[in-house]
Structure 1
Amino acid sequence: MEDYLEAIYILFQKQGYARCVDVAEYLGVTKPSVSRAVKELSKAKYLRKDSNSILSLTSSGEQVAATIYERHRFFMERLIEAGVDPKTAETDACRMEHGISAEAFEKLKYSVERQGEEVK
């Protein structure tokens, strides 16, 4: 479900809206898969679908999606900096973003930020 929230968040950032067909295309999944996810995420109060089939994140959905996206970008940037091919970094960052605890991520991010300050 986190992948769907992140996809909607990214699509909204890029094009100002997200529809089920956009999410399916972005994630490379079927429209019925997106419909099921939208139903579950709507039930959980993470998103809404208006009469024009435009998806929008609720405040709690946006908060979760922004957190996931922050983790994704963090891991992807670190992997690319380490010399990992961007396509592989994208795939691995997606795996890593979901498997790390909030505490571990915050400590890792803080550690990297501190190292960056020492380099300057």
Structure 2
Amino acid sequence: MHRLKNADNTVRCVDIAQSLGISKPSVHSMIKLLSNMELVQKENYGVVYLTEKGLETAERYSRGYDFMLGCLDEVLSDENSISSSVCMLLSSLTEEKLSLL
């Protein structure tokens, strides 16, 4: 969401689904979970925006993603598989470990 957001800090659910290659119902479930965590708010017509807490969290993960992608890109060449591997690794890190990146 962080990388897809528009100038007004919003993103459409359909754009998230298309970007991730998943169904709109899957995105809806994900958005509901993130909303319960107070990371996003959903408006009418499928428009979603990051809350302040969500934006801070997204920026931390984005920095970690960029750092890890840069490190792995030096030794591996297939950026698509590196990208998904970095995402999986980041999702397993605690907030404390993420802040060290």
Considering the TM-score relative to the shorter chain, is it more than 0.5?
Answer: yes
Partner of residue 64, structure 1? 57
Q: How many residues end up aligned between the 2 structures?
A: 99
Secondary structure of 1:9's counterpart equals coil
Structure 2: state its 5+ residue gaps: none
Kindly indicate whether residue 73 of structure 2 is the aligned counterpart of residue 83 of structure 1: no
Structure 1: state its 5+ residue gaps: 1-7, 110-120
Flag the 1:103–1:84 CA change in 2: closer, same or farther, 3 A. farther
Partner of residue 18, structure 2? 25
CA RMSD of aligned residues (A): 1.8
Residue 25 of structure 1 deviates from its aligned partner by 0.6
Larger Rg: 1
How high is the TM-score relative to the length of structure 2?
Answer: 0.82
Aligned mate of 2:39, from 25, 43, 46: 46
How high is the TM-score relative to the length of structure 1?
Answer: 0.71
Q: Between Structure 1 and Structure 2, which shows a larger proportion of helix residues? A: 1
CA contact (8 A) 1:75 1:96 kept: no
Flag the 1:89–1:61 CA change in 2: closer, same or farther, 3 A. same
